[in-house]
Structures are given as structure tokens and as C-alpha cells.
Chain A
Amino acid sequence: MKNIKSRIGGIILFILSLALTVGIKAVFPACPPHDDGSFMNCHWAEQSVSGAGLALTAISLTVLIFGSGKASAGASLAMIPLAAVTALTPDILIPLCKMPMMRCHTATHPAVIVISCLIAVTALVNAVLILRKKEADK
């Protein structure tokens, strides 16, 4: 039980990162290609988020494996800027389609922002809790 308790942060981070990585391709993908097969801008935002999602999943596995160690706190902290960049990718770093009712605006963009923000907040809370516990144990 104690083992699971110390890894709850890592488990949540892993689930959220996996949801981002799988979701961007399967649940809330960007707009489909044109009839001639060419892609709109939002497709490249989707690709970029997918890559960042893979990186976040890998780091969250580190958080999960190290449990309540300082390495876990460090990995959690590393996830914060990466999650922030992921949230900024659609529409700010890579522009989306221009009509606000396109799928990339109605589904992809909000889903990426919500999940990335949840990852950043969870990572911060996890890091703070681990570091506070370490301080108290000293």
C-alpha cells in the first residue's frame, strides 16, 4: 500500500502523458488531409504534440520507477516546461486552421491545453510533495 501511495503522482503523470500521446492520434486528432492528400498546418501541430507526448510518457515512467526518490522529483520538475511547450504548440508555436469551428480548434486545441496543464500541475505538486517529505525526513 505504501509503495503504491508513494507512486500515485507517477501513476497519474503516466496516465495523463499516455492519454495525450494516444489521444492526439486516436481521440482528438487534427483536421484530415485535403482531397489531394496535402496536409493543413494543424497536422504538423498534431505531429509535434505526438512527439512531445512520447517524451512526456518516457519521463513519467522515470517518475513512476523512482517513486519518492529525489530523481523522481527531478523528473517531475523536468516535465513542467515540456508540458508548457506542448500546451503552446497548437495555435501559438504552430498555427492551426483559420476557421474556429474546424476540428483542430474545437477538439485538438482544447484537449491538448487541458491535458498539458493537468500534467504540469500534477508534476509540480508531485515534486513539491516529494521534496517536502525529504526535508521532513532529514
Chain B
Amino acid sequence: MKLTGSLSFRNVKGRPARSLALMILTAIMAASIVAGTITVTSLKTGLGALEARLGADIMVVPASAASKKDLENIVLQGSMGYFYMDRSYYDKVAAREGIEKISAQLFLASASAVCCSGPLRVSGSAREAEFTVAAWIRKSAGGELGLLDVVVGNDLSVFVGDTITFYNVKCNVVAKLDKTGTDLDTAVYTNTDTIKKLIASSLELGMNDFKGIDPDKVVSCILIKVADDHPVDEVLNDLNLHVRRTKSFKTKDMISGVSDSLIGVSGIIGVLMCAVWVLGLVILFLAFTLSVNERKKEFAVLRIAGASRRKISRTVVSEALIITLTGGIAGIVAGLLIMLPFNGLIEESMGLPFLLPQAWVIAVLCAGAAVVSAAAGAVASAYSARRISRLDAGLILRGDN
């Protein structure tokens, strides 16, 4: 039977206001599933990516800059801060036991580049092939970092082979990093010699006051990869005990706050989704029950005309399916129109790592939302369908019901 000619379809079309209201309700329910699950999945993907990219086990910073919040900001917001310590600490840390790899970073905050309208963060690494960054290089020209070579974050609109200018110094982009979903995506990494050149040029131009920073004498933080045969906690305690005026942190602890926030946000989203769905299901159930009740005589006439009980209950359920599936698809489209184009805005406003899942995951989520919406319609109308199919047509038409 053609859909446009079916009884259920004509019933839906015959009551446009009621059908539209129920479709809007189902659309809101489907949109809440799509938007909620994409948000939670994106936060989990972002946290996973961040954890995977913390190449170092321990970070050592000056004791004066050692508030946990500051360190979370370094990881998430890329706010490099202006803390520095003497380079001699690098040697003191390197001399301790259980250290497999060690690298120092010097943060040079808020440099502006010709390419970009906003501030950038330049980070100089003592080791050119620094292990914390090497793991997330997505595209590289290969080779060691030379003078004026830079590795750029994913959100910068420059590509491998391009140049990027800081304080009138043209630097070559030799590698681009994978997206982290944090403000570290606008960071720039380079080597100590390049940092020196940038500082000299900025002082010449009078653009920044970097007078107190000598890349040969100071570092901002020291990153450590612990040897496999040493527990991280043991090395951490040893560093905190023996390297004075510094504070050492486990990098995984630094993102525990993020993890807690993620659990909190996911919980709130889950509660909201549940509330929307419980309310929606109750309204759908009442709407279908009332609608069937007021059309008892209509169904009784159909029974007398020869329609089977099964045909009548199928008509009621099909009506519900047409409404909830149409509303569900509209809701899925609306949810995608919010989540996909505005993911940058959501990432910015949440201040948490936010990476959209892969296309196939989004497709599965949408298919799931469509199935759940249709199932909601079937469940909400099942009771009415069963009731109407068992009523006595004669009694109803005599008005004795």
C-alpha cells in the first residue's frame, strides 16, 4: 500500500496540529540524545587524546609556580605562565635515579605572529627531538629541528613547508601536531637557539620585555620519562625530597581535575537527557491514549466494516511510528546542526578537551537515536493499540462504553 494512501498516514495528516506538536516533542527528545551523546563522547575522546599525548610521567616546576591549578592551565589552556628557574636544576634532576628521558622547556608567552590575529605560545625545548611532542607530530618534513625551525599546533593556519613570522623573524614550519582539543593547539615549539633569536628580535623592536630571560641560564619546566624498572611514585618522592625549591607533579594527576569535571558534566547531561525522555514518554503515552479514546467510534466503525483487531492495532502503532520517526529524524538533523558546526564554540565555552568523534561513531549515534525515537512511539502507543483492539464495537456504537 502506498504510504500516502494508508489510513495511518491520512490520520496523521488529518490532525496537523496534534501531529506537529507530537513531532516537535519527539524531535526535542531525539535532539537531546544526539547532542548529549555527542558532547559526552567528544569529551571522552578529548580526554583520551590528552592522556595519550602526555609523553612525560613527571613535570618539575619552580616551587613558586606549583599550584595545581596553574599546572592544569598549562595542560589545558596552554597558558605558559612566566615562571622560570635556574638551568642548574636540570642537571640536579638529571642526576637522580630512575630517569629514562629528560627534557626542559622554556615558555615564551603571548608572542604575536603575522599569520595570526591572536596571541601564540612559543615553547623552546632543550632537546630538539623532545619526547613529549614527538609522539603527537601528525605531519613532519623529517629531520632534526634546526635554527628557525618550528613545530606548530593543529589550530594554526600554517602547514609544513610554510613560514611563520614572529617579531620580524621568519621561521620554517617543519611539523604540525595532532589536534588535542585544548588551547595547546595554538602552541608553537622550537629549539633554544631559535628562542634566543626571537627574544633578541623582540627586544630590538621593543615589542616585549624578555630582558630577564636567558635561554642558556633558565628553564620553565623539566619533563621526565621514568625508566620502566622504577615506579613513578618512587621517582616523584625522590625528586620532591632531594631537589629543593622545585615541585614535582605526576602529569596524570594534573589532568585528574579535568577527569573530575568530565564526570560532572557527563552526569549533568545524563540527568537532563533522562528528564527530557521520561517527560516526553509520559506526554506521548497520554497523547496517544487520549487520541485513541476520542476516536473509539471511528475504530468501532472500522471493526464493523470488517477490519480485524490486528489491523486496528497496527493502524494505531503505525500512526505513532510515522509521528515519532519523522520527529526523530528532524531532531537528529537539528542536533547535528548544533553540534557539528558549533563544536569550536562548545569547546571554547566548556574549557575542557573536546574532540568530535569519528564520522562513523556519529553515524551510529544518529541511527541509534532514530531507532530509540521510533521505539518510544511504539511503546507509548502499544497500550492504546491493545485496548482499542479489544473493545466491543457494538457497545461503543450504542454509546454504552
Tell me how far the C-beta of B313 lies from the nearest C-beta in chain A, rounded to whole angstroms: 32
Cβ of B358 < 8 Å from any Cβ of A?
no
Cβ of B149 < 8 Å from any Cβ of A?
no
Interface hits, B346-364 → A, CB 8 Å: 347-348
Interface size, chain B (Cβ < 8 Å): 17
Interface-facing stretch out of A53-61, A67-75, A76-84, A107-115: A107-115
B337 contact from A40, A106, A107, A114, Cβ within 8 A: A114
Tell me how far the C-beta of B117 lies from the nearest C-beta in chain A, rounded to whole angstroms: 4
List chain B positions with a Cβ less than 8 A from chain A: 115-118, 155-157, 183, 185-186, 337, 341-342, 344-345, 347-348
Q: What residues of A have a CB within 8 angstroms of the CB of B183 in the complex?
A: 101
Contact B345 A98 (CB under 8 A): no
Contact A40 B117 (CB under 8 A): yes
Closest to A107 in B: B345
Contact A99 B345 (CB under 8 A): no
Give the one of A97, A109, A110, A114 with max B CB within 10 A: A110
Using C-beta atoms within 8 Å of the partner chain, give the interface range for chain A.
10 to 19
Closest to B338 in A: A114
Contact B156 A106 (CB under 8 A): no
| A47→B333 CA distance, assembly (Å) | 29
Q: What residues of A have a CB within 8 angstroms of the CB of B118 in the complex?
A: 97, 99, 101-102
With A99-B118, A99-B186, A101-B185 given, is the CB distance from A114 to B341 under 8 Å? yes
Contact A106 B342 (CB under 8 A): yes
With A98-B157, A101-B185 given, is the CB distance from A31 to B344 under 8 Å? no
Contact A110 B345 (CB under 8 A): yes
Chain A 36-71 interface 0/1 with B at a Cβ cutoff of 8 Å (1 = within): 000010000000000000000000000000000000
